[in-house]
């Protein structure tokens, strides 16, 4: 069975060839299994967002000659060697995206924003004209009910709160029939209560439908509370890949930098001394 | 306190001297001033400016003024019909331009099409804008003959260039996130435009289209003078036959119509922004 997501030796360098360059993602290989839930942690600028955008084919990896850098989702090619694959639209149908800033069309109704999820599998003409049939509308409404906001279906998306908009984005991924959801900082711009609600919705969706889930997060406590597997990035490289239980305070402090203000340590790490140093090295894939 | 401190430092000679404008800068300013005067003098003679003529021909001016103060509405129904014709020219000229301007505007926004496409379409739109409606009117009169249809075509071509530019600027200013949201679902390029771009730009586009309609009503009035139909045509006739009172009545009809339309369109535009 093909992996939900497979990244092979993927790098991304920003900046002009002559000018200053930034290697946002540096030779990362990663496999996410079907139905697996993975938290992606790391400081700002560690490459989390770029990695997610590479996985969705929204950013092209550096070209490095034949046979190198490639991204596959469920065995379908998303991109290879710095070019979008021919089958990228088909591959994307399996991938739902949830962004920090929601990425909804604010003036369109909540319902339409969710219906957009079916565009990938209906005829281009019908989709372009917005002629969604009764079945699709029922599916969309059911998805809205599942994330708990069906009462707002007729409102414009921008009238909703941040947390509600994020749940519209999740409903869109559901309607899309995505088998892998990539969420880039989905709770970074939400208040704590909405953040928890959105994380609950994401994880419940993943569990109930067997959807693989990759979520990039700032909050380490969320990563350890909701996910079994944690991937940590630093300077564009994967520096930890393993169960959340193997994370320790010393590693996290190093990961976020000694004076990191963004590090919110989960309570169990508050006083514990570094314990799993050996275990950690064995999991490191850098 | 600070002031007295400064006074003290000046008195004791410890205050550094104020900065002096460098000689080169002062010379450059002088040359610029001299050049400005030369251009103005040259333009005065080139434009045959002659204020004295206003005084010398005061008699003519008095007749003109007196006639204009007594507007003659005898042929009001003709003026009304011609005004309607002018409005019709503006309506169709604008509508055709908006229809053509939507795809052309999208195709000249370099955030949604490849750079070379945007560059090419933009140059064509530049050409449409560079040539005045009046010049297009003269060209179309040669092609389809005198009358309102030539006016419609002239407005259509020129306005297409204008709205395509305005539309594309709105597209270039959009938030790219919703577009990526559509792309992420596996939607086509056209669907990205329809569900990601259009909802963002539509209010601005409607506002721009209405604004162009307002200004096209004014342009359509002028088009008549070169033979493009509408109220401008009869205004030209009355002026040439020295019927200043009738010309005055026509101007009043134009002013009232244009003001009413501006007010109406402004009210609609406000609702969209």
Residue B249 CB: number of other CB atoms within 10 A? 22
DSSP A46: S
Tell me the average pLDDT across B4-32. 83
C-alpha–C-alpha distance, residues A79 and A71, integer Å: 5
Helix, coil or strand: residue A62: coil
A96 inside 8 A of chain B by CB: yes
Mean pLDDT of A167-191: 90
**Shortest distance, CA A106 to any CA of chain B (angstroms):** 8
**Is residue A284 pLDDT above 50, yes or no?**
no
B186 touches chain A (CB under 8 A): yes
Q: How many residues does chain A have?
A: 286
| CB contact A197 to B (< 8 Å) | no
Q: Write the pLDDT tens digit of every residue in B59-106.
A: 877 888 888 888 888 888 898 999 999 999 999 999 999 999 999 999
* pLDDT band of A268, cuts 50, 70, 90: low
Pairing of strands A83-84, A76-80: antiparallel
Would an 8 Å CB–CB cutoff place B200 in contact with chain A? Answer: yes
pLDDT, tens digit (0-9, with 9 covering 90-100), for B208-224: 999 899 899 989 988 88
pLDDT at A265: 57
Q: Hey, what are A75's tokens?
A: 């065995």
Least confident stretch, A174-188, A249-263, B18-32: A249-263
pLDDT tens digits for range B121-141: 999 999 999 998 889 988 988
Give the pLDDT of residue B172.
Answer: 93
CA B204 to chain centre: 17
The answer on pLDDT for B23 being more than 60 is yes
pLDDT value at residue B116:
92
pLDDT of residue A62: 85
Q: Strand A95-98 and strand A76-80: pairing?
A: unpaired
Burial class (CB in 10 A: 0-12, 13-18, 19+), A87: exposed
pLDDT in tens, B213-268: 989 998 998 888 887 778 888 898 888 888 888 999 999 999 999 899 888 888 88
Taking only Cα atoms into account, the Rg of chain B, rounded to an integer number of angstroms, comes to 28
Contact flag B191-A127 (C-beta cutoff 8 Å): yes
Look at A124 and B191 and tell me if their CB atoms are within 8 Å: yes
Provide the ipTM: 0.77
In whole angstroms, what is the distance from residue B228 CA to residue A139 CA? 56
Percent of chain A with pLDDT over 70: 87
Q: Inter-chain contact A124–B182, Cβ cutoff 8 Å?
A: no
Minimum distance, in Å, between the CA of residue B50 and any CA atom of chain A:
58
Where residue A15 falls among pLDDT bands split at 50, 70, 90? Answer: confident
Q: Give the position of tokens 């999991």.
A: A283
Whether residue A259 has pLDDT greater than 70: no
Q: Which of B204, B171, B208, B228 is nearest to B97 (CA)?
A: B208
Note whether B195 contacts A99, CB cutoff 8 Å.
Answer: no
Averaged pLDDT of chain A: 83
With CA atoms as reference, the chain B residue closest to A170 would be B181
Q: What is the pLDDT of residues A116-153, one digit of tens each?
A: 988 888 888 888 888 899 999 999 999 999 888 889 99
- CA B135 – CA A176 distance, rounded (Å): 53
For the cut 70, the answer to whether the pLDDT of residue A260 exceeds it is: no
CB contact under 8 A, B185 and A107: no
Beta-carbon separation of A124 and B184 below 8 A: no
Cβ pair A108:B187 closer than 8 A:
no
B206 touches chain A (CB under 8 A): no
Q: What's the pLDDT at B185?
A: 85
Q: How confident is the model at residue A270 (pLDDT cuts 50, 70, 90)?
A: very low
Q: For A29, phi and psi rounded to 5 degrees?
A: -120, 135
**DSSP of B80-123:** HHHHHHHHHHHHHHHHHHHHHHHHHHHHT-TTTS-HHHHHHHHH
Partner-chain contact B183 A58, CB within 8 Å: yes
A100, A116, A143, best to mutate vs chain B, most B CBs in 10 Å = A116
pLDDT for A51 equals 92
User: Which residues in A lie closer than 8 A to residue B181 (C-beta atoms)?
Assistant: 97, 99, 102-105, 116, 169, 172
B190 in contact with A, Cβ within 8 Å: yes
Cα B235 to Cα A139: distance, rounded to the nearest angstrom: 63
Whether B177 and A102 lie within 8 Å, measured CB to CB: yes
Which secondary structure element, helix H or strand E, spans residue A75, and what is its range? Answer: none
Q: Please state, as a whole number, how many other Cβ atoms lie within 10 Å of the Cβ of residue A137.
A: 15
**From the CA of A138, how many Å to the nearest CA of chain B?**
19
Confidence of residue A75 (pLDDT cuts 50, 70, 90): confident
pLDDT in tens, B172-195: 999 998 998 888 888 889 999 999
Q: Cβ–Cβ of B177/A112 closer than 8 Å?
A: no
E strand or H helix at A23: strand A22-32
Which parts of chain B fold into alpha helices (H)? 2-11, 23-46, 51-56, 58-68, 76-107, 115-130, 133-144, 148-172, 176-184, 189-192, 198-223, 231-240, 244-272
Residues of chain A in contact with residue B202, where contact means CB-CB under 8 angstroms, are: 107
Q: B185, A117: Cβ pair inside 8 Å?
A: yes
pLDDT digits (tens, 9 = 90+) for A215-246: 999 888 888 889 989 999 988 899 989 898 88
Residue of B nearest to A119 (CA): B187
Select from A90, A103, A119 the Cβ nearest to the Cβ of B178: A103
Closest CA to A202 of A42, A6, A74, A37: A37
Which structure tokens are listed for A24?
């946002």
CB distance B195–A92 less than 8 Å? no
Among A12-16, A153-157, B106-110, where is mean pLDDT lowest? Answer: A12-16
The pLDDT of residue B98: 96
For residue A274, the model assigns a pLDDT of: 38
**B186/A90 touch (CB, cutoff 8 Å), yes or no:** yes
What average pLDDT does the segment A187-211 reach? 89
What does the pLDDT read at residue A273? Answer: 34
Closest in B185, B188, B196 to A105, CB measured: B196
pLDDT of B18 over the 90 cut: no
Token pair recorded at residue A64: 């490095």
Which residues of chain A from 43 to 62 reach within 8 Å of chain B, CB to CB?
Answer: 56, 58
Q: What would the two tokens of residue A183 be?
A: 């969420």
Protein fold of B73-272: MetI-like fold (1.10.3720)
Beta-carbon separation of B195 and A119 below 8 A:
yes
Q: Is A169 on the interface with B (CB under 8 A)?
A: yes
In total, the C-beta contacts within 8 angstroms joining chain A to chain B are: 88
Domain boundaries, chain B: 2-46, 73-272
Query: What confidence score (pLDDT) does residue A282 get?
Result: 38
Contacts of A22-25 spanning 24+ positions with Cβ under 8 A: A23/A236, A24/A50, A24/A236, A25/A50, A25/A51, A25/A54, A25/A61, A25/A236
The predicted pLDDT at position B14 comes to: 78
């Amino acid at each position: 069975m093909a992996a939900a997501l497979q990244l092979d030796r993927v790098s991304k360098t920003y900046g002009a060839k002559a000018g200053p360059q930034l290697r946002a993602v540096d030779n990362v290989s990663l496999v996410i299994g079907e139905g697996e839930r993975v938290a992606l942690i790391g400081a700002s600028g560690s490459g989390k967002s770029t990695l997610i955008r590479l996985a969705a084919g929204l950013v092209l990896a550096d070209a490095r000659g034949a046979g190198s850098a490639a991204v596959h989702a469920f065995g379908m090619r998303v991109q290879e060697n710095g070019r979008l694959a021919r089958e990228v639209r088909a591959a994307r149908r399996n991938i739902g995206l949830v962004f920090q800033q929601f990425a909804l069309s604010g003036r369109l109704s909540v319902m339409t924003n969710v219906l957009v999820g079916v565009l990938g599998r209906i005829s281009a003409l019908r989709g372009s004209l917005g002629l969604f049939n009764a079945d699709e509308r029922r599916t969309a409404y059911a998805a809205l009910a599942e994330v708990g906001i069906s009462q707002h279906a007729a409102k414009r998306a921008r009238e909703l709160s941040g947390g509600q908009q994020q749940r519209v984005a999740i409903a869109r991924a559901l309607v899309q029939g995505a088998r892998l959801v990539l969420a880039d900082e989905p709770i970074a711009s939400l208040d704590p209560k909405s953040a928890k609600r959105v994380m609950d919705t994401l994880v419940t969706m993943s569990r109930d439908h067997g959807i693989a889930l990759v979520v990039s997060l700032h909050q380490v406590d969320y990563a350890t509370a909701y996910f079994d597997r944690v991937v940590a990035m630093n300077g564009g490289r994967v520096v930890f890949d393993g169960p959340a239980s193997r994370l320790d305070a010393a590693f996290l402090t190093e990961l976020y930098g000694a004076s990191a203000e963004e590090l919110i340590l989960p309570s169990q790490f508050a006083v514990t001394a570094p314990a799993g140093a050996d275990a950690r090295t064995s999991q490191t894939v850098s | 306190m600070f002031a007295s401190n400064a006074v003290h430092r000046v008195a004791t000679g410890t205050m550094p001297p104020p900065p002096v404008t460098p000689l080169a800068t002062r010379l450059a300013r002088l040359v610029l001033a001299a050049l400005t005067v030369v251009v103005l003098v040259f333009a005065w003679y080139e434009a045959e400016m002659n204020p004295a003529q206003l005084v010398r021909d005061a008699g003519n001016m008095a007749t003109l003024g007196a006639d204009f103060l007594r507007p003659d509405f005898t042929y009001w129904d003709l003026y009304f019909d011609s005004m309607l014709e002018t409005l019709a020219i503006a309506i169709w000229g604008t509508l055709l331009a908006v229809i053509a301007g939507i795809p052309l505007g999208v195709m000249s926004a370099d955030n949604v099409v490849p750079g070379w496409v945007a560059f090419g379409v933009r140059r064509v739109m530049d050409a449409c804008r560079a040539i005045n409606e009046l010049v297009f009117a003269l060209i179309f009169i040669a092609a389809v003959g005198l009358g309102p249809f030539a006016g419609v075509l002239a407005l259509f071509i020129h306005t297409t260039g204008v709205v395509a530019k305005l539309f594309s600027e709105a597209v270039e200013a959009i938030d790219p996130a919703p577009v990526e949201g559509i792309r992420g679902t596996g939607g086509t390029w056209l669907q990205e435009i329809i569900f990601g771009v259009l909802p963002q730009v539509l209010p601005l586009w409607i506002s721009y289209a209405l604004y162009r309609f307002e200004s096209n009503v004014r342009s359509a009035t002028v088009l008549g003078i070169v033979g493009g139909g509408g109220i401008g045509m009869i205004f030209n006739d009355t002026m040439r036959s020295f019927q200043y009172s009738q010309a005055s009545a026509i101007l009043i009809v134009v002013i009232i119509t244009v003001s009413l339309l501006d007010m109406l369109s402004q009210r609609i535009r406000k609702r969209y922004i």
